[in-house]
Amino acid sequence: MHRFTNKTVLITGGTSGMGFATARRLLDEGAYVVVTGRDEARLDSATSRLDAPERTLAVRADVASLTDLDHLTRQIETWRGSVDAVFANAGVGVFKPSTELTEADFDHVIDVNFKGVFFTIVKALPLMRDGGSVVINASWTLHRGLPIASVYSASKAAVHNLARTLGADLAPRGIRVNSISPGYIDTQMYREANPDLGAEARNAAEVPLGSLGHPDDIAAAVAFLASDDASYITGQDLVIDGGLVGSVPGA
């Protein structure tokens, strides 16, 4: 499939996990891809692994910094002039009981996951072509209560709501806005949040399809939502979780 030939896609947090897999998928489908992250060495590594230097631009930008986002949009404007799709993917998790969450934890999660997503989109809008698409990476935790994930889950509920409101707001320009809710996906974030050896088997047992998801499963869904194949879909959340939120665990 070559649904993205000559199109430009911004992917925040493209140095690993779902962002990286989506960059690879969209490059395979012909796109020009801008990937971001906070760390130059990780950006260099991602660029070299993506192996399409003429169609890849890596920009160091912390999504929580409006100065960085302004710099990012200037770089994209110089490189390609416009943007066809945005995958607002960068996110962080702080997973502990609410009584142990500090103000610094709260601010960090909200700054990256909510403020960062909002301003990634708002700052990209002047560059976005009419008829473009925005996909926000939310989480299955917006659909379920998970005791160690109160602020994280609330940040993801907030960005799903953004998909609804911005979907309506930007409809006159033909710009569609949707969110995705990945389940347990085998990435660096998952491994850091679940360091104990039994976690993968325990989590896989909660999933009707019987395994963790792979970043490529998410990339395929993002490519669909970002493409014209989804041209009548906006303001929605697509759950990609092997059945996790749709079932009663262990029943």
Ligand X SMILES: NC(=O)c1ccc[n+]([C@@H]2O[C@H](COP(=O)([O-])OP(=O)(O)OC[C@H]3O[C@@H](n4cnc5c(N)ncnc54)[C@H](OP(=O)(O)O)[C@@H]3O)[C@@H](O)[C@H]2O)c1
Which amino acids are annotated catalytic?
152
* Single-letter residue type at 36: T
- Strand 128-137 relative to strand 83-88: parallel, antiparallel, unpaired? parallel
Name the one range near ligand X by CB under 6 A: 6-14, 69-77, 225-233, 243-251: 6-14
Applying CB under 6 A, the site for ligand X has a residue count of 33
Least Å from the CB of residue 135 to ligand X: 11
The answer to whether residue 64 forms part of the interface with ligand X (CB under 6 A) is yes
Binder to ligand X among 8, 22, 36, 153 (CB under 6 A)? 36
Q: Which is nearer to ligand X, 31 or 112 (CB)?
A: 112
The answer to whether residue 185 forms part of the interface with ligand X (CB under 6 A) is yes
Binder to ligand X among 3, 42, 55, 129 (CB under 6 A)? 42
Q: Which is nearer to ligand X, 101 or 129 (CB)?
A: 101
Least Å from the CB of residue 137 to ligand X: 4
Binder to ligand X among 89, 133, 150, 234 (CB under 6 A)? 89
The answer to whether residue 203 forms part of the interface with ligand X (CB under 6 A) is no
Least Å from the CB of residue 200 to ligand X: 11
Binder to ligand X among 9, 10, 18, 124 (CB under 6 A)? 18
* DSSP per-residue string spanning 160-229: HHHHHHHHHHHGGGT-EEEEEEE-SB-SHHHHHH--STTHHHHHHHHSTT-S-B-HHHHHHHHHHHHSGG
- Strand 128-137 relative to strand 32-37: parallel, antiparallel, unpaired? unpaired
The answer to whether residue 13 forms part of the interface with ligand X (CB under 6 A) is yes
CB atoms within 10 A of CB 99: 6
The answer to whether residue 187 forms part of the interface with ligand X (CB under 6 A) is yes
Are 180 and 221 spatial neighbours (Cβ–Cβ below 8 Å)? Answer: yes
Q: In what order do the strands lie in the sheet with 128-137?
A: 56-60, 32-37, 8-11, 83-88, 128-137, 176-182, 237-240
> 128: helix, coil or strand?
strand
Name the one range near ligand X by CB under 6 A: 1-9, 26-34, 56-64, 232-240: 56-64
Are 154 and 112 spatial neighbours (Cβ–Cβ below 8 Å)? Answer: no
The answer to whether residue 159 forms part of the interface with ligand X (CB under 6 A) is no
CB atoms within 10 A of CB 140: 22
Footprint of ligand X on this chain (CB under 6 A)? 12-19, 36-39, 42, 62-64, 89-93, 112, 116, 137, 139-140, 182, 184-185, 187-190
